[in-house]
Chains A and B, each alone.
Chain A
Amino acid sequence: MGTMGLALPWKARITSAPREPATVGRWGTRVEPSEGLAGGPVKAAAVPASEDATLAAGCQSGDLHAYERLYTLHGVRMKNLARNILGSMVDAEDAVQETFLKVQRSITSFRGQSSFATWTYRILINTCYDARRSRLRKKEVAANDDAEETPRPEPRAPAAHPTLRMALERALARLTRHQRDVFLLYEVEGFRHAEIAAMLDTTETASKNTLFQAKKNLREMLEPPRPDRVPA
């Protein structure tokens, strides 16, 4: 891998200072040192495991306040993840609503094998991909177009580096689904590899490897053409 010179306005502006290593993750467990240093979850709000269990119990008993608490803790993050998968805020909100409904319908099947939040995000991700498939089917019926459906991001709230965001969204759309999911969950939403593994039904090692491949591919896509690679 050569030296990267990204053809983006953020090259000089974004700080490259290493992040503070986090000592405690959101679910009350220790975060691996490499995750904190390499750009892992540092911004996530601490939600102790006991609260997660209380939430699960509350939802199992049909307590709407428990669902409201779940929404307060995870609603905006769920919506943001759905937005990045689906490319539309309206679709993202529908997906979050559908996820809560699915949680309510299938709460009796939650056995506590993973954290309640992880289980909920797993439902959300599946709901998002169901929505994408459904959208693709509609599109196929309408236009008889068999091209792979990729999210078409719609305008959203102003960001510090809008050009960078758009370039990143376009590059993400070209990754495989698995690479995109891992990148979004780890780098954007700040989940740990153990949590991602539980959400995507994979292993922690596979999650780390997928993230590495995703970042390598993103760099390739965002890197400007280098003089030694330009065709004559």
Chain B
Amino acid sequence: MTCKDRERIFEDGTGAEWAALEAHAASCAACAEEVRAWKSLSAAAKELQDYSPNPELWTRIERTLREEGARGTQRAERKGWFSFLRNIPVGWQTALAGAFVLVLTVSLSWILVIREPGDKPGKPDSSLLKSAALREVESAETAYEKAIGKLATEAKPQLDDPATPLLANYQEKLQVLDSAIADLRAQAGVNPSNAQLRYQLLAMYQEKQRTLQEVLEMKKQ
């Protein structure tokens, strides 16, 4: 052990090397001072320890974690419906919506044009509404449509300028639903007594109502 080894030991000395340096320093004033000063720096570093606890800090952190956790849960729940759309490019999303409308139209056409002529004449068709019931259905339908219209008015500001991708998805869903509703209403105009058509229209209205309610709930939060 010589004075030359000192810095290497300071940097990466083993326990045995430090012991040897200490022994050497006992008879070398320069090394003794260097070792003392080196260790004093470590001791001085402890002056930078301030481990005084702040009991309020955990309360703050806990509240933030809870809020973030709740937001995460809500996001996960809302994502359910159209979460797959996030991974699909916008062009494909539009095509998908178009395909959905097309399938809906074809299905309705099949119900109205292809299936009806096949029905046996003479037998009363249970799927046809009688005039009194038809008036009742149309009246209820009009009232329902007005109520949904009010919801749509409330949600309009959010949907016109969607702030999040989720709102944009809702907006696209509503456009698809409106398109399907318009289509069904046109069909219902041609064949107003078709109960199945009315059921389909009702289902579309219900879906639109649910979607608008979800949009409005987002607004509240």
- B37–A164 CB distance below 8 A: no
Q: A21 — which chain B residues lie within 8 A by C-beta?
A: 15
- A157–B50 CB distance below 8 A: yes
- What DSSP secondary structure best describes chain B's contact surface? helix
- What DSSP secondary structure best describes chain A's contact surface? helix
Q: Provide the bound-state CA to CA distance between A84 and B30, in Å.
A: 33
Q: Provide the bound-state CA to CA distance between A187 and B68, in Å.
A: 35
- A96–B61 CB distance below 8 A: yes
- A164–B62 CB distance below 8 A: no
**What would 15 more interface pairs be, CB under 8 Å, given A84-B48, A218-B41?**
A1-B7, A6-B40, A8-B44, A16-B43, A34-B14, A34-B17, A36-B15, A37-B18, A67-B65, A93-B57, A156-B50, A165-B48, A187-B45, A205-B12, A208-B12
A to B CB contacts below 8 Å, 7 in the list: A37-B18, A38-B10, A75-B53, A97-B57, A97-B61, A156-B50, A160-B47
- Give the total of B residues in contact with A, Cβ under 8 Å: 46
Q: A212 — which chain B residues lie within 8 A by C-beta?
A: 7, 10-12
- A37–B15 CB distance below 8 A: yes
- A62–B11 CB distance below 8 A: no
B145 in contact (CB, < 8 A): no
Q: Provide the bound-state CA to CA distance between A191 and B44, in Å.
A: 16
Cβ of A84 to closest chain B Cβ, rounded Å: 6
Q: Provide the bound-state CA to CA distance between A16 and B38, in Å.
A: 9
If A76-B51, A188-B48 touch, whether A11 touches B68 (CB-CB below 8 Å) is no
Q: B66 — which chain A residues lie within 8 A by C-beta?
A: 64
- B45–A188 CB distance below 8 A: yes
Q: Provide the bound-state CA to CA distance between A161 and B48, in Å.
A: 10
Chain A positions 181 through 214: 1 when the CB is less than 8 Å from some CB of chain B, otherwise 0 = 0011001100000000000000001001101100
Q: Which residue of A is nearest B33, CB measured?
A: A3
A119 in contact (CB, < 8 A): no
- Measured CB to CB, the residues of A under 8 A from B are 1, 3-4, 6, 8, 10-11, 14-18, 21, 32-34, 36-39, 62, 64, 67-68, 71, 75-77, 79-80, 83-84, 93, 96-97, 100-101, 104-105, 156-157, 159-161, 164-165, 168-169, 172, 183-184, 187-188, 205, 208-209, 211-212, 215, 218-219, 222
Q: Which residue of A is nearest B73, CB measured?
A: A62
Find B47's partner among A4, A11, A165 (CB 8 Å cutoff). A165
Chain B positions 16 through 49: 1 when the CB is less than 8 Å from some CB of chain A, otherwise 0 = 1111001000000010011111111111111111
Q: B12 — which chain A residues lie within 8 A by C-beta?
A: 34, 205, 208-209, 212
- B42–A3 CB distance below 8 A: no
